[in-house]
């Protein structure tokens, strides 16, 4: 149980994350509804990540048992169903890293608009749905899937991380920060995820106006962020 599971890892964000984590030397398990599709995606990561990449595919619930820090990278319209399917797979002590963004695109609306979520944010919806003892940490909303999935692009941006406990955030930050060019930043409590989830439609709007795949950086931060 020491790999990094990515539930929904056949999607663009999850796949790019798998690629970068594999390149950083982590064993990765790509999860999908269909184990065959998961293995196909894993094979593509192995081909692109280079020699020695340890990337496997598995059905989502199986994948979720393979490591202490589980990434969830699914569209908002599939988040609830995925979490229901993980109820018997996740165990106390695990961390679920939620990257879900409640874009209005989930209901055929614009990708520059954010839906209201009854719990406050997609991350808080995830926290409500995971088994007791599983902590949700929110991260990776502002990293472009296109950029992440292209190994030719040098990353240089920040990743706001929200959650209730600093220790949990620091563990997630260590994983994300092992990818060259990504700097995890403690952005506050889990409820702050609402504001971070809003970065995605904002960046999409900036991208449309400026024809790019923008990320974000915070200015004025000290050197040693997780001391």
Map the footprint of a second copy across residues 172-191, applying CB under 8 A.
185-189, 191
CB nearer to a second copy: pick between 61 and 155: 155
CB nearer to a second copy: pick between 45 and 159: 159
The structure tokens listed for 115 are 């839906």
- The rounded distance, in Å, linking the Cα atoms of 26 and 150 is 18
Establish if 163 lies at the interface with a second copy (CB under 8 A): no
Q: Which of 160, 173, 175, 178 binds a second copy (CB under 8 A)?
A: 160
Q: Which of 34, 47, 88, 212 binds a second copy (CB under 8 A)?
A: 212
Establish if 213 lies at the interface with a second copy (CB under 8 A): yes
Please choose, from the candidates 11, 30, 52, 20, the residue with its C-alpha nearest in 3D space to the C-alpha of residue 148: 20
- The rounded distance, in Å, linking the Cα atoms of 167 and 21 is 21
Map the footprint of a second copy across residues 81-140, applying CB under 8 A.
112-114
CB nearer to a second copy: pick between 126 and 204: 204
Please choose, from the candidates 4, 5, 15, 1, the residue with its C-alpha nearest in 3D space to the C-alpha of residue 145: 15
- Closest separation in Å from C-beta 130 to a second copy: 23
Establish if 225 lies at the interface with a second copy (CB under 8 A): yes
- Dihedral angle at the C-alpha atoms of 160, 86, 19, 138, nearest 10 degrees? 0
The structure tokens listed for 173 are 């930050």
Please choose, from the candidates 160, 149, 151, 145, the residue with its C-alpha nearest in 3D space to the C-alpha of residue 213: 145
The structure tokens listed for 41 are 């995606």
Q: Which of 24, 78, 115, 214 binds a second copy (CB under 8 A)?
A: 214
Q: Which of 12, 47, 174, 221 binds a second copy (CB under 8 A)?
A: 221
- Closest separation in Å from C-beta 215 to a second copy: 4
Q: How would you class 60 by CB atoms within 10 Å of its CB: exposed for 0-12, middle for 13-18, buried for 19 or more?
A: buried
Binding segment for a second copy (CB under 8 A), chosen from 55-63, 76-84, 123-131, 192-200, is 192-200
Q: Are 24 and 45 in contact (CB under 8 A)?
A: no
Size of the site for a second copy (CB under 8 A): 41
Measured in whole angstroms, the distance separating CA 34 from the mean position of its chain's CA atoms is 20
- Closest separation in Å from C-beta 116 to a second copy: 9
How many other β-carbons are positioned within 10 Å of the β-carbon of residue 192?
Answer: 19
Binding site for a second copy (CB under 8 A): 112-114, 144, 147, 156-157, 160, 185-189, 191-192, 194-196, 198-199, 201-203, 205-206, 208-222, 225
């Amino acid at each position: 149980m020491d790999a990094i599971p990515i539930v929904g890892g056949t999607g663009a964000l999850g796949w790019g994350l798998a690629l970068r984590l594999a390149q950083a030397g982590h064993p990765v398990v790509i999860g999908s509804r269909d184990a065959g599709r998961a293995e196909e995606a894993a094979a593509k990561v192995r081909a692109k990540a280079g020699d020695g990449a340890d990337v496997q595919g598995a059905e989502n619930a199986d994948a979720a048992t393979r490591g202490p820090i589980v990434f969830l990278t699914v569209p908002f319209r599939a988040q609830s169903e995925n979490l229901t399917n993980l109820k018997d797979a996740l165990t106390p002590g695990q961390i679920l890293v939620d990257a879900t963004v409640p874009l209005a695109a989930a209901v055929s609306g614009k990708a520059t608009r954010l839906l209201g979520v009854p719990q406050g944010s997609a991350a808080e919806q995830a926290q409500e749905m995971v088994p007791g003892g599983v902590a949700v940490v929110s991260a990776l909303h502002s990293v472009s899937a296109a950029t992440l999935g292209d190994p030719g692009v040098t990353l240089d941006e920040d990743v706001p991380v929200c959650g209730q406990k600093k220790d949990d955030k620091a563990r997630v930050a260590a994983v994300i920060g092992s990818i060259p060019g990504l700097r995890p930043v403690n952005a506050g409590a889990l409820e702050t995820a609402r504001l971070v989830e809003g970065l995605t439609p904002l960046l999409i709007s900036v991208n449309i106006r400026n024809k790019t795949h923008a990320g974000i950086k915070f200015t004025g931060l000290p050197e040693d962020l997780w001391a």
